Each structure stands twice: as C-alpha cells, then as structure tokens.
Chains A and B, each alone.
Chain A
Amino acid sequence: AQSVTQPDIHITVSEGASLELRCNYSYGATPYLFWYVQSPGQGLQLLLKYFSGDTLVQGIKGFEAEFKRSQSSFNLRKPSVHWSDAAEYFCAVGLTGTASKLTFGTGTRLQVTL
C-alpha cells in the first residue's frame, strides 16, 4: 500500500525567508502527487499537483515542488515566505490509473515569525 511521510511536524521561519517542506512517498509505480494547504476553519486547498512530465511543478501563491524519483520525494518550496502562509501543509499521493482516493501525510504546521 502507498504511504506518505512528512518528517517535519512543525517548522518556524521568518517572514521573507525561504521555505522547504519535505515529503517522501512509498509506492511501486509513479504516483500522482499533491500538496494541499489547510488554514484554520478552511477546507483543504490544492497548491499544486504532479502527474507526469516536467518534474518541477509550479503552483499557486508562489509555491513550487520538485519530483525526484530517485529519492521518492516531492518537496515543496517557496523562495520568500509571507505571514499569510502560516497554515498546515499536507502532501498526498494518488494511485496511477485512478483518482479514487488520496493518501495523505500527517502534515507540517508552518509558523511564520515577523
């Protein structure tokens, strides 16, 4: 069965600093990969997704992620963090050939200091 690991439970960065959130997956084939963000009282919002092709994916709000097959990773990055980016971030994997369900990691809570 597929699984997703987000090794960092909580990260604190200063506003304007760069950000990298780690995600590792376990799956036998090339998965579909997603990053979602969840703010308090809000639903999960899709930041970006990877299905195939270019391994560097651009998303909304200035985020990007890079798929590295050799490392089974799909890390999320942002060059300059804004205070409004404080939220919980979830990496998720979907099975190739079906989009019937997503398997999520446990999330990384991002705190931004001014």
Chain B
Amino acid sequence: DTGVSQNPRHKITKRGQNVTFRCDPISEHNRLYWYRQTLGQGPEFLTYFQNEAQLEKSRLLSDRFSAERPKGSFSTLEIQRTEQGDSAMYLCASSLSGFTDTQYFGPGTRLTVL
C-alpha cells in the first residue's frame, strides 16, 4: 500500500492557461474523489468516481473543469482557461466502495494562477 499519490505537487500557471493534474489512488480502491481546499477553509467536494463512472459532480465544478478516470485506475483533473480564483490546493482521495469505507487522501496539488 503506497498511498494516494498526486502529481505535480505544485503548479504555477498564468491566467488563461490550461492545467492538468493526476491522481493515482490506492490500487484496490474503486472510488476516487476530488476536493478543492482554499486558504483558511476545509476541503470542498468536487466530484467522485466509482470505477470509471463519474457519479456525482458539485456545482463548484464549472464547465472549465473536467475530470476523467478512463480505466478505473488513475484520474486526471483538467482546468481550462484558468482564473485567479482557481488558485487552491486540489486534493484527491480514494476508498473502497462500502458505505463506511474510509477516504484516504493524497498530499494534494497546489495551484497558483498568476
């Protein structure tokens, strides 16, 4: 069990550019979640996958955001035409699919939009 990994750990980009983040969950976990955490706040749910199916999306996930999990393993989160308000820590978590299964979090990707 190597834990949840996220790449890159830090990303600095200019406003209007596109960025993509990757999350590798714990290998046997079939649920994968994305959260966003801004300074001084708790994480906010963005979306989650059961295997390759995206089952829920938050209203926070605007049309500029897209997430995929093509083979039910790793996932990518893309932000198009970044805005300064997108600056945040993007957290990925994974779990088994039982109702009470714990979500294990990765270290996050910190995005700074200049």
Contacts and interface: CB of A to CB of B under 8 A. Distances in A.
A30 B9 CA distance: 36
Contacts of B103: 46, 99, 102
B41 A106 contact: yes
Contact of A90 (B31, B43, B104): B43
A51 B100 contact: yes
A44 B91 contact: yes
Chain B interface mostly: loop
Interface in A14-45: 32, 36, 41-45
A101 B42 contact: no
A76 interface: no
A42 B37 CA distance: 13
Given A101-B33, A101-B48, A104-B43, A32 B100 contact: yes
B20 interface: no
A58 interface: no
Contacts of A103: 45
Contacts of A90: 42-43
Given A102-B103, A104-B42, A106-B41, A43 B108 contact: yes
A43 to B, nearest CB: 4
A35 B48 CA distance: 20
Contacts of B99: 32, 97-99
B48 A105 contact: no
Contacts of B100: 32, 49, 51, 99
A97 B102 CA distance: 14
